[in-house]
Structure 1
């Protein structure tokens, strides 16, 4: 019974964290509205894989390595911040480009491009693993059994994909694309500015 309560608590806390606004939300929403549903779902799948990688790393002790080698954590944080700044610059530079139709290519990610961009974003933020490490320490036993470890990873995968799939469904519809088409210049610049701010926060702020 205690294990079930711990897993339910983990599911709720992680879902709330996944649903909080951040660079992942901005990227998936922009991919869905700019490149269509297929690209959005692939980006959502990439977010899930990236979160699983960090969750597994936290579960199996990589955070100990970060604690031992502070420079490694700092390097990854700075690299992640620079990647967010790169995405922001690309959005800003191409804000005046016409909105392509889904599958037509262009600066807006489609298919594999959206997948790679989202996966790199998720993997470039070591704070995700720090978050998982914190909630695992708070909610899980010191030596969780194998079935519990599998359940933790399943919860992370379900929460991540479900949330970003819902974002994709919301932003890839016809009305959302019509609004985006009319206000693309300013929306791209707003999203680019948000990514730039988040990138600077990731690179410059402490834990």
Structure 2
């Protein structure tokens, strides 16, 4: 199999994983609806940075190391799950808060930075992602991959993760979704918060139930 085919196969597998529903999708879509396109794009960029970081760790072989160091892996799962619970609780708690539209100037810049950081942390909160990346690389990368292939993977992972979630942000920041959100904000936020907190609780419970202590 040529390096070009391997490259496309890896990117296709990563794209399919990125498109699967989860806390990342919930965060970006809700951010885009509630705060507008630029906020959603900032969160998408955070997702891309997180994906690039996790992909880099997997390429360095740290995914295999993480699996061997089970106690560390479990602790990361629990902490990541608790972070998702925290974010979900905040969304649920502020479900009845009136919608605040985008502002201008430094306040808006801080908000965009906060959205980027939140997207980054949400992406990094699930340690299983680096394991998935590592499994894909182990299955598809040759024993001695060409240098260009190794150098191109991390920036392309950023492009796939950020690109997909930018599409999500653009779709959900359109006028019709925003109008629907304004009409049903409380119910949408409560549902989104509950789902995200549930996913986090499940991740943390998996770590707690692991028999590594």
TM-score range with shorter-chain normalisation? over 0.9
> For the residues of structure 1 that align with 2:41 and 2:32, how far apart are their CA atoms?
8
C-alpha displacement at 1:154, in angstroms?
A: 3.0
Using the alignment, how far apart are the partners of 1:36 and 1:101 within structure 2?
Answer: 7
Structure 1 residue aligned with 2:154? 153
- Residue 26 of structure 1: aligned partner: 26
- Equivalent residues of 1:51, 1:156 under 8 A apart: yes
Distance in 1 between residues matched to 2:155 and 2:117, nearest whole Å: 22
Q: Give structure 1 regions of 4+ aligned residues with deviation exceeding 6 angstroms.
A: none
Give the Cα separation in 1 of the matches to 2:150 and 2:83.
31
After the TM superposition, which residues 72-111 of structure 1 pair with which residues of structure 2 at under 5 Å, given as runs?
Answer: 72-103=72-103, 110-111=111-112
**Counterpart of 1:96 in 2: which secondary structure?**
coil
Q: TM-score, normalised by structure 1?
A: 0.93
Structure 2: give runs of 5+ residues left out of the alignment: none
Aligned to 1:116: 117
Residue-pair matches, total: 205
Q: 2:103, 2:66 → 1: CA distance?
A: 40
Partner of 2:129: 128
TM-score by length of 2: 0.91
Instruction: Tell me the residue number matched to 1:172.
Output: 173
Tell me, yes or no, if the aligned pair for 2:43 and 2:119 is still in contact at 8 Å. Answer: yes
Alpha-carbon distance between aligned partners in 2 of 1:174 and 1:110, rounded to the nearest angstrom: 21
TM superposition shift of 1:156: 1.1
Matched residues in 2 for 1:145 and 1:4: separation?
10
Q: Shift of residue 64 of structure 1?
A: 2.9
| Match in the other structure for 1:205 | 206
Structure 1's unaligned 5+ residue stretches are none
Aligned-partner Cα distance in 1 for 2:150–2:103:
38
Contact 1:77 1:126 in 2 (8 A): yes
How far residue 205 of structure 1 moved from its aligned partner, in angstroms, is 2.6
C-alpha distance in structure 1 between counterparts of 2:81 and 2:102, whole Å: 28
